[in-house]
Amino acid sequence: MTPTSPVLSLKCHLRTVADSQPIVDNRPMTAHLDGTSATTRRAAALHGDVAGYSRLIADNEIETHNTLQALRRVIEAEVAANDGEVVSFAGDEFLALIPTESGAITAAMTIQRRIAEENQSLPQGRKMRFRLGVHAGNVSTADGQWYGDAINVAARLQALADPGGITISKLTLDEAGDLAFDVQPLGRKQLKNIPEPVTAFKIIDKEITADRTKPWRRRLPLPKRPSLAVSPFVNLGDPEDSHFADGLMMALVIALMRIPGLDLVSENSTLRYRDHPFSAQQLGHELGVRYVLEGAVQRSGDRVRVMTQLIDVDDGTTKWADRFESTFDDVFSAQDDIVSAIVAALDIEVIGGEVARAYRSRLDAETVEIVYRGLQYLSRGSPSDLEHAVETFEHVIELEPNEASGYTMGALTHLLIALGGVAEKSSNHYAKAEELALEAIEHDDPVGLGHTVLAYALLVRHDWDGAMEAAMQATVARPSCDLTYGVAASVLRYLGETDEAVEYANRAIRLSPLFATWYESTLANAHLLAGEYDEAAELAESVVAEDDNQFEALLTLAAAQTALGRQRHAAAAIDKARLSRPGLSTEMLRHELPYRDEEDLGRFMSQLEASGLS
Sign of the Cα pseudo-torsion (384, 386, 387, 392, in order): positive
Contacts of 56 (CB under 8 A, 6+ apart): 50, 64, 67, 126, 128
Of 547, 562, 557, 548, give the one whose Cα is nearest residue 523: 557
Report whether 437 contacts 455 (CB < 8 A): no
In this predicted structure, the answer to whether residue 421 has a pLDDT above a threshold of 80 is no
The CA distance from 15 to 263, in Å, is 51
- Helix, strand, coil content of the chain in percent (nearest 5): 55, 15, 30
Contacts of 303 (CB under 8 A, 6+ apart): 325, 326, 327, 328
Write the CA distances from 37 to 31, 335, 407, 449, 461, integer angstroms: 5, 48, 52, 57, 67
Half-sphere exposure of 37 (CA within 13 A, CB side): 5
In this predicted structure, the answer to whether residue 212 has a pLDDT above a threshold of 80 is no
Q: What is the 3-state secondary structure (H, E, C) of 304-330?
A: EEEEEEEEECCCCCEEEEEEEEEEHHH
DSSP 230: E
Continuous H helices in 82-120: 101-119
The CA distance from 487 to 507, in Å, is 11
Please name the amino acid found at residue 203. Answer: I
Contacts of 470 (CB under 8 A, 6+ apart): 451, 452, 454, 455, 458
The CA distance from 378 to 390, in Å, is 9
Listed range (267-276, 527-536, 566-575) with the worst mean pLDDT: 267-276
- Reported as a single tens digit per residue, the pLDDT across 44-71 is 999 999 987 877 887 788 888 888 988 9
Report whether 9 contacts 182 (CB < 8 A): yes
In this predicted structure, the answer to whether residue 426 has a pLDDT above a threshold of 60 is yes
Write the CA distances from 398 to 394, 412, 564, 601, integer angstroms: 6, 17, 55, 43
State the average pLDDT over residues 249-260: 78
Residue 410: predicted pLDDT: 94
Residue 328: predicted pLDDT: 66
β 8-9/29-31 pair status: unpaired
- Reported as a single tens digit per residue, the pLDDT across 543-585 is 887 777 788 999 999 999 999 999 988 998 998 888 878 889 9
Residue 14: predicted pLDDT: 31
Contacts of 595 (CB under 8 A, 6+ apart): 494, 496, 601, 604
DSSP 498-551: HHHHHHHHHHHHHH-TTS-HHHHHHHHHHHHHTT-HHHHHHHHHHHHHH-TT-H
Report whether 512 contacts 271 (CB < 8 A): no
Of 564, 539, 567, give the one whose Cα is nearest residue 552: 539
In this predicted structure, the answer to whether residue 213 has a pLDDT above a threshold of 70 is no
Residue 208: predicted pLDDT: 62
Contacts of 521 (CB under 8 A, 6+ apart): 539, 540, 543, 550, 552, 553, 556
Instruction: Using a pLDDT cut of 70, give the percent of the chain over it.
Output: 84
- Reported as a single tens digit per residue, the pLDDT across 454-501 is 999 999 999 999 999 999 999 988 888 889 999 999 999 999 999 999
- Reported as a single tens digit per residue, the pLDDT across 430-452 is 999 999 999 999 988 877 789 99
The mean pLDDT value of the chain amounts to: 81
- Reported as a single tens digit per residue, the pLDDT across 394-414 is 999 999 898 888 999 999 999
The whole-model pTM stands at 0.61
The CA distance from 532 to 559, in Å, is 11
* 3 state DSSP class of 554: helix
- 291 pairs with which residues across the strands? 228, 312
Query: Mind listing the domains of the chain with CATH numbers?
Result: 8-209 (3.30.70.1230), 227-370 (3.40.50.10610), 479-610 (1.25.40.10)
Residue 479: predicted pLDDT: 86
Residue 470: predicted pLDDT: 96
Taking the CB of residue 367, how many other CB atoms lie within 10 A of it? 19
Of 160, 111, 103, 114, give the one whose Cα is nearest residue 133: 160
Kind and range of the H or E element at 201? strand 198-204
Buried (b) or exposed (e) across 158-187, using 16+ Cβ within 10 A?
bebbeebbbbbbebbbebbbebebbbbbbe
The CA distance from 233 to 252, in Å, is 11
- 145 pairs with which residues across the strands? 142
In this predicted structure, the answer to whether residue 349 has a pLDDT above a threshold of 50 is no
Residue 245: predicted pLDDT: 82
| CA 236 to centroid of chain Cα atoms | 17
Continuous H helices in 222-326: 242-256, 267-270, 280-287
- Reported as a single tens digit per residue, the pLDDT across 2-38 is 333 344 433 333 322 333 333 333 333 333 334 445 5
Q: Determine the longest span between alpha carbons in the chain, in angstroms.
A: 88
